[in-house]
């Protein structure tokens, strides 16, 4: 896999989020060209992971999207290839732990300071006030940076 401009990918993820894509979509779309993944397909398959999985405020969508990226970074498509499966899972754990170390959690509601999960699937309107009170654009940029760091470390 080719080296990436980490800052450019991180900025792109932030911009995608601010344009209306959810957290999961923003991270995977920032890398879809590198993964030969059609942008519409990337946006479609990642959409349900936004808001901590369907806005339930569980695992942060940006973290879920980092996990999707691992499928391209450390692929494991053969069902009985336990060595590759181990490498894939270890990579997921490594990236998630980096995110947790920087942000204190990988759980959406904890990152947002919410007391409980929600069952309301209604997305919040993307207003100027929304972007001021939600740190999600920064979490998206951090997740994209962590993915880029992993990709570039594999080239060394």
Residue 127 is predicted with a pLDDT of 82
Q: Please report whether residue 50 resides in a domain.
A: yes
Residue 79 is predicted with a pLDDT of 87
Predicted TM-score of the model (pTM): 0.93
Q: Which regions in the chain score pLDDT beneath 50?
A: none
Query: In Å, how far are 140, 142, 143, 154, 156 from 63, measured between CA atoms?
Result: 8, 10, 6, 20, 24
Q: Please report whether residue 93 resides in a domain.
A: yes
Separation between Cα atoms, residue 21 and residue 146, nearest integer Å? 19
Residue 21 is predicted with a pLDDT of 97
Separation between Cα atoms, residue 1 and residue 110, nearest integer Å? 34
Supply the range of the domain harboring residue 28: 6-154
Say how many domains are in the chain.
Answer: 1
Q: What is the pLDDT of residues 109-144, one digit of tens each?
A: 999 998 877 778 888 888 888 888 889 999 999 999
Q: Please report whether residue 1 resides in a domain.
A: no
Separation between Cα atoms, residue 17 and residue 104, nearest integer Å? 21
CB 112 within 8 A of CB 134: yes
Q: Please report whether residue 56 resides in a domain.
A: yes
CB 13 within 8 A of CB 65: no
Q: Please report whether residue 96 resides in a domain.
A: yes
């Amino acid at each position: 896999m080719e080296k990436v401009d980490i800052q450019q990918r991180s900025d792109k993820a932030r911009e995608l989020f601010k344009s209306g894509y959810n957290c999961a979509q923003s991270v995977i779309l920032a890398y879809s060209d590198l993964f030969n993944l059609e942008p519409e397909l990337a946006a479609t398959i990642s959409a349900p992971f936004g808001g901590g999985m369907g806005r339930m405020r569980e695992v942060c969508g940006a973290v879920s999207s980092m996990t999707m990226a691992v499928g391209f970074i450390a692929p494991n498509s053969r069902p009985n290839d336990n060595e590759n499966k181990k490498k894939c899972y270890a990579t997921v754990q490594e990236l998630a732990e980096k995110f947790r170390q920087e942000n204190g959690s990988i759980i959406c509601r904890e990152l947002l300071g919410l007391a409980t999960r929600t069952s309301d699937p209604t997305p919040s309107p993307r207003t100027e006030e929304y972007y001021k009170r939600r740190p999600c654009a920064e979490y998206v940029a951090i997740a994209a940076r962590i993915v880029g760091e992993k990709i570039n470390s594999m080239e060394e």
